[in-house]
Structure 1
Amino acid sequence: MLGDTILTTLPSALECLSWSSDCELAISAHDFIELMIPRLSTPGPSPTNYEILHLRANLFTAAEVDIEEPAAFALFSPGEELSVGNIASLAWSGPGLARHARSALAVHTERLVLALYAAEGRPTEVGGWKRVLVVNRVLERFFEGVYPGLPRDENGDRAPLIKRAQRVRSFAWSPCVPARWAEECGVASAVQFLAVGNDAAEVVVLQVRSPCNSAEREWGAGIVARIPLGQGGKLPDLGWVFGEYVREQRWAGWVAWSPWEVVEGGVVSVLAYGTVERVYFRRVGLMLDPLKSKIEIGEVEEGGVLPLGVTFNGPVRWVPVGLGGQMVLVATSPGAVHCFAVGTDGPLEVKETRYAREVWDEVGGYAFEHTSDTSIDLFFPPFRLSTKADLISLSLPSAKPTPFDPPWIDSITRSLASFSEEHDLYGHAEAKAWGFGASPLGDFMALCYSLHPTHMPEYKIPAEYRCTVAVTRARRGPAEDFALPSEGNFVGAEVSAEALAFSIRAWVDEQPEAPEDSASVIRDIVQEISTALHLPSSYAPPPLSSPTLSLRHALFTSPTITRLRLERLISLYFPWYTPATDTNTSLIRTLAVATHRIPHTTYRASLISTKILEAYSMAVSKTRALSAQEVEDIDMLPAHEFERCEICGCPIHFEGFDEGRCEGGHEFVRCALTFLAIQAPGISRFCGLCERQFLTDAYLQGDVYEDSGAGSDPATVNDNPSVSASSSTNGAAPETEKEDDGSDPMPLDTPARTEIDMDEDSDPITESTEPTAEPAPLDPIIVLPTTGAANRSLAQILLQACDRCPYCGGKFVG
């Protein structure tokens, strides 16, 4: 996992590197996306620790991006029709947006096109990645509805106003809504917003919806807010000099969205954006209650606008956690580091702290390390790297320098020596840092750099392009003992098993030999992770009305089951170790008790659901996992043969949890969750870490409900356990669902929208000579509740509750 990986390409823009929540690395390189997918399912060292995928990012169909003819000079075109479409920036979304609770990748090109990519198949194969959404098309359709008086001309070209409104200048993902708060409110935790700055001097907020975090069958987005940028500017004129053009720019050159903070009645964050002259801060509130849901974007308060006398030459990022009741925004300019502290309570006030730095180079990325509740360390390398340790570490929010020994110096020293010797440069070589970032747990850093001569011109053809991605530990130190950052860094949020597996395997690969006492080592690692995750010593299941959430809490929140799952995850990289506690027995106990305790009035009885209950009865009789009192409490079904072979019709005996065999000799793999035999192709998926097989929702298409005899509707089946309702594809509020428990129907969350006030002279669109329009009708925010599952079968509830492997916590593949 650690070490240098050489890519046969060269970055074309700063901030070219981004980590996903599963430790997947994305690097932008001209018109290609380089994906480095860690190989986590194979224990032990391997020749390559990553699968390297090359995705083309500038090839679009006419349905995705209009073909632009070369524009006349009088139109003052930004050159989108002439650009080759190299990647300008990229960033991963939070987990849960893509299939199997994975992250989606947003890629912004120099043609001002923003597209989303996601793994629809195997993430380790190029064919598994698809472009799922072009944000420009969403903006175009929205503004064409806002300005119906501006239709396309006879050649199909859009009006200039529509062109400006659909161009994306900058973007930022919103952080994921805190999972615990979302569960308490009974909504999906994978609510994802995307803020984009367009060419029409607006910041537009969209809610991205996918088949995995909503009931829609296709990817889409709805505009939920429009924010005008300051005073309206004049349209470009050919008589302007460059300085006038820069001063009149009103589009947001950057957008940054702070983490959510839980407050009474909802969660709040701060949306920051800036032009060449000012920095703006607005509070964003997401309020949820049983009757309505809405997003509120506050007005620009007096203390929320700061004049800017310099231009930022690096990323503008929020610190990923709050520090003592305030959020901190970090940016760099030539000769200074800027820290903006914003309070979470009371009137919005911004305090700026600057640190003057000697190096005026641009910055390719930031990394953070949580040191205490009120401070955090910031790391950033200058663009022109050297083998001596320049100032690259500050303590925030005080902006004071801290000692730091860069761990990537050794990699740069080796690479420079080899490059100089290969090209006879006699030491006249330098390294340039294009991208930099920390892993999700903060215990590793990745630096993308390239090598160049310093005293002569450089001529290269694309076949000679090379760059190095160095993955190192965050700080130098011995690796005898497994350790996560002392303060837990940012692991208070949802931590994926892939991120933990990355850290575990990196530590195992560093060990010179296998430990003598594997059991003791694994116990120490489990304790270290438990401390970092703040796992409680005891657990009381919360009173949840949703059967899906009840199962999720039983399988993924219980400290006992979580520790057993961690032990199972760690043992994947100790093949010779056998756990002392049988994880299967504990999981079967938990499944049997939690499943049989679900009230029958909360789901529809079906044929497959009955088979699953009978399979649990057989599993319990095989392992004797339950006590007599537990069996009496949950009313187990009598154990008998319940499956027949679809090939020969013979009964399939329950001889084990992994395989099933009928009397005719046909053998089948059993689902590791339902213990049913997998008897057809295309109805199974497997864990990306432990490689156990599980049934998919495709298997449920042949289910038969006992009350109606009709097959289940595939539209009601969803991979996301937090989604149990359907909504229309045009963003309309879903209808009220009724539960069969005799209670009053609970309406789905229907957002109450507050239109953002626009000053008379604040919108350049309305000041131009082009037609005006009424305020745009904004799309409702679809925040689907997790209650009301009476229209689903028990089989659907069970498969949706387990959106990841219950044995090791890994995400599914397939």
Structure 2
Amino acid sequence: MLGPLELPLYPSCYDCLAWSADGELAIAAGEHIQILTPKNPAARAEHDSSQALNNWHSTRFRVNVFTNNEWPTIYPQNRDNFSLGAEQSLSTVVALGWSPPGLAKYRRCVLAVLTSNLLLSLYEPVGSQGKWTRLTIVNSLLRDHFKSSVQDDALGLRKSNIRSFAWSAPLKLPVAGHAAATYSVPPVESRWGFHLLSLANDDNDIVFLRAQRSSTEPSSYTAEVLSVTPLQDLDIYPQIHPSSIFATTLKSKTKILSMSWGPWLFATGKKQKNFVTGNLAVVYGTKLKAIQLDVDLASLSQGTSPESHAASVVSSKENTSICHPDLDAYQVKGPLKWLHKEDSKNIYLAAGSFAGLLLLSLPEVSDRAKESGSKQIHLQEFPFYETVEEEADDGPRHLEPITAMVMTSDTESQAVLHLATAGGYTAAKTFDEGIEDSLSVVPWKRQFDDMREKYDFDRDLGGLAVARVWGMASYDGMSAVATTVHPGDMIEYRTAAEERLTIIIYAPDEAQPEAGTSPTPSNNLAEKREAALGYILHSVDEDEERPLSSKILYATACSAIVESDNKEIRSQAHKVLVRLATVTGADLNEELSKCSASKTTIASKPGEELDGAGAQIFERCEICDAGIAWYSNQEAQCAEGHVFVRCSLTSLAIQDPGSSKLCSSCGREYLNEDGIDTSESELQSSCRMLFDAFDTCIYCNGKFRA
């Protein structure tokens, strides 16, 4: 499973790998994106597992095809506002990144892709076939936002072009106490959080967005601008005379090409307990800058459109105190990485220079709670030598910038930073008490060297083969490294048929579950199932004005009679059945008499009861119109013998195969709220309400799929 993967493609940018929280590995491959999804154990057993690539589902889709509405024709502008390279490019991938889980359908991750025409698009699989589709282009939102304040069309073009982006960690609301409600479910904002996206446009504005899935159109997204902070540093190149023409030209062409979010820090003061602070590190030209974002969680959670009071909800400013003054002596280049451990009092920021690694150490103190002058920032430099084990200061230096960095953990659960350059230099930095220790060798160095040596031997290059690292990503303790090999003593001529990208996957603990295996089921599955039963049955008490569908309430009550040993749940089921009998007039004497028994069955209803009072709460076979008995929570059978699968949440029989969805981990079947007939509006709205609360599998917490 973890063997090297050899793919017939070539990366189009550095930092070309992105691994989602759902286990999907995305690769930037020119005009395409390659998605590798690990197969589950059953699917892997059908193929030769000795071939590592057979253990992955592979999907490839094109990202450089735009309609005229998505990318309107842009006529030549003046030299300050027109990017000839972007207009004439093939729109290849220059950056990609996954959102935190919870934004896409079924609470999955959204893939953001930035192409060389400076457009940022959001992708996710759509339909039963899982075809990856572009759903939104973020540039249109920037164009609409700046339209009212920018009258010049050329400047508006710069404002809407995107140079770089980064997703923040999910901003989750603290879970309030639910002592009174035993079967309560935390709100969506506490389970998945708010999804914030930062952008840098061509005018060097840092734009903070809040992305949401559209409530009216499930296949689209909406986003709102929360804050804008311009970066205009007149001393970005102090070594050049500021009044020279060259300095003026450089300032106009300086762009923000890399950014990374730090951790969210909650204010400790009582008056600011609802405020949270985050820092965004950016590489502006060759300098490291930081933008501080302050968020009022209470105001942000009150509505989905805070434009009217955005200033009171979110504010941002350049944080000059976070950067060490000695940083001006370095030229920062490449990706940025933050490290924050719960048991550590410091936050670390790793940045690359042209010949080494820069490490900033900051105290874990929220700016809203700190006193003036309490910050102490330490800067360390780790120079690169041609040999990582070289300890002498006069050894040969490796003069290349970092092209890939990833944060992972080793066998002792210590945080480790892996880094590499385009010239094949690799190193690791362990974050422990001895933070000032030197760089060490990466654990996958042997695989990396073996790949280069094999290429060198096969082509008789005499040791002059060169291996390059294009990107790194991590998931669940594992690391993926994208590498290519090249001849080092000649000009390389390569055709499309010869393009090869090798992905090394390293897991520090061999006993660790492989990517794509089903999550280990919890020992308290009965408790999770009963929590769902209790939530549905107690909704009658908590929401008198808008109770769930009577059909779902009846099915859940019958499920409790057949399955549950919990006396409280069975007592609540009795209460629900009494209410249903009173409201609908249905004859539920059999069900009421069995509420005190333990795990019994309920016979199917005869035809006269299915056509009598309260018939809407009973299930009937859509094939023969007969009643359906209750003997199991996984299976349903009508009086004529037709068998169906029951929904694992609502307990309703799924009679239409097109109206179901599956857990991608354990394979349990659920009713798909989008596939319910619109004539059953009450049932559809109730299912939407339930699946908003239980949006993952109640047995293994796996994500759903159509």
TM-score between the two structures when normalised by the length of structure 1: 0.68
- The one of 788, 791, 798 aligned to 2:690: 798
Deviation at 1:296, TM superposition (A): 3.1
**1:673 aligns to what SS in structure 2?**
coil
Q: Tell whether the 8 Å contact from 1:335 to 1:357 is kept in structure 2 after alignment.
A: yes
Question: 1:75 & 1:599 partners in 2: Cα distance?
Answer: 61
Amino acid at match of 1:171: F
Question: 1:421 & 1:233 partners in 2: Cα distance?
Answer: 50
Question: 1:176 & 1:366 partners in 2: Cα distance?
Answer: 21
Name the structure 1 match of 2:349: 329
Amino acid at match of 2:155: L
Question: 1:29 & 1:210 partners in 2: Cα distance?
Answer: 27
| 1:445 equivalenced with 2:473 (yes/no) | no
Q: How large is the RMSD of aligned CA atoms in angstroms?
A: 3.5
TM-superposition CA deviations, 1:154-186 (whole Å, max 9, x none)? xxxxx2111111111111111101364589995
- The one of 643, 647, 651 aligned to 1:675: 651
Question: 1:193 & 1:627 partners in 2: Cα distance?
Answer: 42
Deviation at 1:393, TM superposition (A): 2.5
Deviation at 1:628, TM superposition (A): 4.5
Question: 2:621 & 2:218 partners in 1: Cα distance?
Answer: 35
Amino acid at match of 2:42: T
Q: Tell whether the 8 Å contact from 2:416 to 2:428 is kept in structure 1 after alignment.
A: no
Change over 3 Å in CA distance of 1:169–1:605 after alignment to 2 = closer
Name the structure 2 match of 1:283: 292
Q: Tell whether the 8 Å contact from 1:98 to 1:119 is kept in structure 2 after alignment.
A: no
Q: Tell whether the 8 Å contact from 2:357 to 2:382 is kept in structure 1 after alignment.
A: yes
Question: 2:448 & 2:413 partners in 1: Cα distance?
Answer: 33
Question: 1:299 & 1:373 partners in 2: Cα distance?
Answer: 39
Change over 3 Å in CA distance of 1:233–1:66 after alignment to 2 = farther
| 1:258 equivalenced with 2:262 (yes/no) | yes
Give the stretch that moved more between structures: 654-663 or 291-300. Answer: 291-300
Name the structure 2 match of 1:502: 515
Deviation at 1:41, TM superposition (A): 5.5
- The one of 203, 207, 229 aligned to 2:206: 203
Q: Tell whether the 8 Å contact from 2:136 to 2:220 is kept in structure 1 after alignment.
A: no
| 1:219 equivalenced with 2:221 (yes/no) | yes
Question: 1:204 & 1:32 partners in 2: Cα distance?
Answer: 27
- The one of 611, 618, 640 aligned to 2:551: 611
Task: State how 1:730-749 maps to structure 2 within 5 Å.
Answer: none
Question: 2:201 & 2:433 partners in 1: Cα distance?
Answer: 31
Q: Tell whether the 8 Å contact from 2:261 to 2:338 is kept in structure 1 after alignment.
A: yes
TM-superposition CA deviations, 1:621-655 (whole Å, max 9, x none)? 334x2255653355352535421112321112223
Name the structure 2 match of 1:228: 230
Deviation at 1:502, TM superposition (A): 2.2
Q: Tell whether the 8 Å contact from 2:234 to 2:251 is kept in structure 1 after alignment.
A: no
Change over 3 Å in CA distance of 1:398–1:655 after alignment to 2 = same
TM-superposition CA deviations, 1:703-754 (whole Å, max 9, x none)? 76xxxxxx3497xx5xxxxxxxxxxxxxxxxxxxxxxxxxxxxxxxxxxxxx
Name the structure 1 match of 2:538: 597
Q: Tell whether the 8 Å contact from 1:252 to 1:273 is kept in structure 2 after alignment.
A: yes
Name the structure 2 match of 1:645: 621
Name the structure 2 match of 1:809: 701
Question: 1:644 & 1:404 partners in 2: Cα distance?
Answer: 67
Q: Tell whether the 8 Å contact from 1:328 to 1:339 is kept in structure 2 after alignment.
A: yes
Name the structure 2 match of 1:142: 145
Change over 3 Å in CA distance of 1:89–1:702 after alignment to 2 = closer
Name the structure 2 match of 1:42: 42
Deviation at 1:55, TM superposition (A): 1.7
**2:11 aligns to what SS in structure 1?**
coil
| 1:354 equivalenced with 2:381 (yes/no) | yes
**Higher relative contact order (Cα pairs below 8 Å, separated by 6+ residues):** 1
Amino acid at match of 1:563: S
Deviation at 1:94, TM superposition (A): 0.5
Task: State how 1:484-499 maps to structure 2 within 5 Å.
Answer: none
Q: Tell whether the 8 Å contact from 1:104 to 1:117 is kept in structure 2 after alignment.
A: yes
TM-superposition CA deviations, 1:76-128 (whole Å, max 9, x none)? 63421111122111111101011111111111122211111122335xx5x52
Name the structure 1 match of 2:596: none
TM-superposition CA deviations, 1:467-486 (whole Å, max 9, x none)? 10111113xx6x3xx35xxx
Deviation at 1:807, TM superposition (A): 1.5
Change over 3 Å in CA distance of 1:183–1:445 after alignment to 2 = farther
Name the structure 1 match of 2:14: 14
Question: 2:80 & 2:700 partners in 1: Cα distance?
Answer: 62
Change over 3 Å in CA distance of 1:39–1:590 after alignment to 2 = same
Q: Tell whether the 8 Å contact from 2:167 to 2:197 is kept in structure 1 after alignment.
A: yes
Q: Tell whether the 8 Å contact from 1:249 to 1:275 is kept in structure 2 after alignment.
A: no
- The one of 165, 170, 176 aligned to 2:159: 165
Question: 2:443 & 2:221 partners in 1: Cα distance?
Answer: 41
Name the structure 1 match of 2:571: 632
Q: Tell whether the 8 Å contact from 1:700 to 1:712 is kept in structure 2 after alignment.
A: no
Deviation at 1:444, TM superposition (A): 1.2
Question: 2:125 & 2:414 partners in 1: Cα distance?
Answer: 37
Name the structure 1 match of 2:336: 316
**1:385 aligns to what SS in structure 2?**
coil
Task: State how 1:368-767 maps to structure 2 within 5 Å.
Answer: 368-369=407-408, 376-385=415-424, 391-395=427-431, 400-401=436-437, 404-439=440-475, 441=476, 443-474=477-508, 479=510, 482=511, 502=515, 563-564=522-523, 583=525, 586-602=527-543, 609-623=549-563, 625-628=564-567, 630-632=569-571, 635=575, 637=577, 638=588, 639=591, 641=604, 642-698=618-674, 702=678, 711-712=681-682
Name the structure 1 match of 2:51: none
Q: Tell whether the 8 Å contact from 1:259 to 1:322 is kept in structure 2 after alignment.
A: no
Deviation at 1:279, TM superposition (A): 2.9
Q: Tell whether the 8 Å contact from 1:686 to 1:694 is kept in structure 2 after alignment.
A: yes
**1:282 aligns to what SS in structure 2?**
strand
Identity of aligned residues (%): 25
Q: Tell whether the 8 Å contact from 1:209 to 1:216 is kept in structure 2 after alignment.
A: no
**1:366 aligns to what SS in structure 2?**
strand
Q: Tell whether the 8 Å contact from 1:685 to 1:813 is kept in structure 2 after alignment.
A: yes
Question: 1:808 & 1:276 partners in 2: Cα distance?
Answer: 46
| 1:119 equivalenced with 2:95 (yes/no) | no
Question: 2:436 & 2:25 partners in 1: Cα distance?
Answer: 30
Give the stretch that moved more between structures: 279-288 or 169-178. Answer: 279-288
Aligned length: 613
Change over 3 Å in CA distance of 1:82–1:659 after alignment to 2 = same
TM-superposition CA deviations, 1:420-466 (whole Å, max 9, x none)? 34434344322111011221x3x211110001111222111112100
Question: 2:639 & 2:402 partners in 1: Cα distance?
Answer: 67
Question: 2:576 & 2:644 partners in 1: Cα distance?
Answer: 26
More strand by share: 2
Q: Tell whether the 8 Å contact from 2:17 to 2:25 is kept in structure 1 after alignment.
A: yes
Amino acid at match of 1:133: T
Question: 1:588 & 1:95 partners in 2: Cα distance?
Answer: 23
Q: Tell whether the 8 Å contact from 1:339 to 1:397 is kept in structure 2 after alignment.
A: no
TM-score between the two structures when normalised by the length of structure 2: 0.78
Amino acid at match of 1:252: I
Deviation at 1:130, TM superposition (A): 1.1
Amino acid at match of 1:669: V
Task: State how 1:758-777 maps to structure 2 within 5 Å.
Answer: none
Name the structure 2 match of 1:193: 196
| 1:133 equivalenced with 2:136 (yes/no) | yes
